[in-house]
Structure 1
Amino acid sequence: MSKLAEKVQHELIQAIENDELVLPTLPEVALRVREAAEDPNIGIPTLSKVIGNDAALSARIIKVVNSPLLRTNKEITDLQMAVSRLGINYTCNLATGLAMEQMFQATSDVIDRKMREVWNRSTEIAGICHVLCRSYTRLAPDQATLAGLVHQIGALPILTYAEDHAELMNDSISLNHVIERIHPVIGDKILRTWDFPLPIAVVPGEYLDFTRNSEKVDYVDIVQVATLQSYLGTEHPFTQMDWSGISAFAKLGLDPNIDMQAEDELSNAMEAAMSMLR
């Protein structure tokens, strides 16, 4: 690790330990959606009104409900019909995840590109998570999708830090190294601060622990397998590991040697899931 990466990592970890790291806040529309979701008496018209205040998010929800994975014979053009079709929980999780894209923007071109890269990566993993969840578990696909969208949320404060430190911003190797090393611990802290449900909140901090073995299949397992699958066909170090010892595959009932992209039905579903999130 370079001296610069060591220095930045030390500063950020110290800031976390001293509770001095400025954590990002959820976009206002996501906060309103989550607040609405906590009301046990919330109805579809009320939730639709909350989401409807954000035209871009409303359009995204309608796009998702008309995507190949979820559409019915009749095209849906109205937000209230879309919420009715998806259900309140599904809509809230989806809206929360999609609203986060607003956070992945920076004032400098270099960091803005990196934030786009992180977000695009997150939507790719979220798409794979959606398909894995629907095909191999009885867990909620909307929760799995949200887990995929937030698994690298810890990169945000690091990139914000880099924007104010030219030496890090101009050294992409050190920046990537710092992100890889400490985004899990920052991500864990962010989601706990946001009061995310524990099964989702633990994802950033645990999805890269290939020795973990929970009692039952969970969202960490799904994100872990999705991450490994996403690297197939590349030279990434993860592809050099022996996946047969990773318990997440067994819990999903999935052959560690399977390449989901080589299976037409799974590959098409993954492509559809990724495109509906972009």
Structure 2
Amino acid sequence: MSEQEILYNTIVRELEQGKLVLPTLPEVAFKVREVAKNPDASTAELADVITTDAALSARLIKVANSPLYRGRVPIESVHMAVGRLGQDMVRNMVTTLVMEQLFKAKSPKLEKRLRELWKHSTEVAALSRVIASKQKDILPDEALLAGLIHDIGVMPILMKAQDHPEMLEDRKKLDTLISNLHGKIGEAILKKWEFPANLIAVAAEHENLNRNSGPNGPDLVDVVQAANLQSYFNTDKALDPSTRHKVLAFEKLGIDTGISVAELDENSAEYAEALALFENM
């Protein structure tokens, strides 16, 4: 049995037995999500949870003053930020802002892979936000988070690969393993984190190019799937035009399969501003 088959079988077995080590959502994000889902929670209660983390507080204030969200009056406190953004948006934004904490590793080789994953995830997040902003029933901030976590299932695979140096060295074999497993693992992670079904579906289904979201308008998976495929434009991972043209997500979103939304003049500034949210994190 090859090293690739051994690692695949190990991961599947541990996942099925509930023994696979999955990343844990940072505590402050978990607490914020718990408070925000309570319809009786006040803005002050939510702000009080956030202010327990000084770094997060500073980042949230920076986001509230960013070109994407700023108003006439500068935001100077977490309480003001929560008031401007609203509890639902703050819930998604806080989770977005703390995610990079998970993309850390002691091994230099693993660190390189995790940084590549983070870069790709932030690009898909920014593209997802731009695409969602043109749709009437999809929240841009939720799309931003969805893009950021779409490949969260890759992380446990990379962690397990540390025990199999041959796999960590062989990018092609490791990428094949990731392609086969990360959707199923991502689904398990987001269920553990008690995320809503539409975000869980993003991790589970974004690679399914035959997916049809049904007769209604496009959904969050459509947005992230299109963003993910567009992030590969001009790379060796890009789909050939004929295959890309068959992906229903593009049609449902009204996106030209041959043009990146980030390169359109009307979207380029918004894309750059969304990407800037992840700078210095």
TM-score grouping bracket, smaller chain normalisation: over 0.9
**Partner SS state of residue 152, structure 1:** coil
Tell whether 2:243 aligns with 1:262: no
Return the offset for 1:201: 0.6
Residue 86 of structure 1 corresponds to which residue in structure 2?
85
**Equivalent position of 1:194 in the other structure:** 193
Equivalent residues in 2 for 1:1-278, closer than 5 Å: 3-215=2-214, 216=216, 217-278=218-279
Q: State how far apart, in whole Å, the 1-side matches of 2:43 and 2:66 are.
A: 21
State the one-letter code of the partner of 2:149: V
Cα distance between partner residues in 2 of 1:220 and 1:261:
19
Q: CA deviation at 1:264?
A: 1.2
The CA deviation string for residues 137-176 of structure 1, in whole angstroms up to 9 with x for no partner, is 3211121111111101101111221233333333333333
SS at match of 1:143: helix
SS where residue 136 of structure 1 aligns? coil
Alignment partners' CA distance in 2, 1:168 and 1:246: 31
Identical counterparts, % of pairs: 41
Q: Deviations over 1:108-138 (max 9, x none)?
A: 1111221122122111111111111111332
Deviations 1:229-277 (Å, cap 9, x if unpaired)?
Answer: 1111223242454322221112212222333233112122111111113
User: Could you tell me how far 1:6 is from its partner in structure 2?
Assistant: 2.6
Distance 1:237 1:125 in 2: 14
Aligned partner of 1:268: which letter?
A
What is the CA distance between 1:43 and its match in structure 2?
Answer: 1.2
What does the per-residue CA deviation read over 1:20-46, in whole Å, with 9 as the maximum and x for residues that have no partner?
212222111111111111221111111
* Superposed CA offset, 1:75-98 (max 9, x none): 322211111111100001111122
Q: How many residues align?
A: 277
Query: Aligned partner of 1:160: which letter?
Result: M
- Paired AA for residue 178 in structure 1: L
CA distance in 1, matches of 2:156, 2:242: 30
Cα distance in 2 for residues equivalent to 1:198 and 1:155: 19
TM-score (ref. length: structure 2): 0.92
What is the RMSD of the two structures over their aligned residues, measured on CA atoms? 1.8
Instruction: Say which SS state the counterpart of residue 254 (structure 1) adopts.
Output: coil
Q: How far is the alpha carbon of 1:204 from its aligned partner?
A: 1.3
CA distance in 2, matches of 1:162, 1:47: 39
Distance in structure 2 (CA, Å) of the matches to 1:143 and 1:186: 21
Separation (CA, whole Å) in 2 of partners of 1:235 and 1:170: 19
Moved more, 15-24 or 125-134: 15-24
Quick one: distance in 1 between partners of 2:196 and 2:209? Answer: 22
One-letter code of the match for 1:55? A
Letter in 2 for 1:18: Q
Q: Structure 1: how far apart are the matches of 2:175 and 2:246? A: 27
Whether the aligned pair in 2 keeps the contact of 1:131 and 1:269 (CA below 8 Å) is yes
Q: Give TM-score, length-normalised by structure 1.
A: 0.93
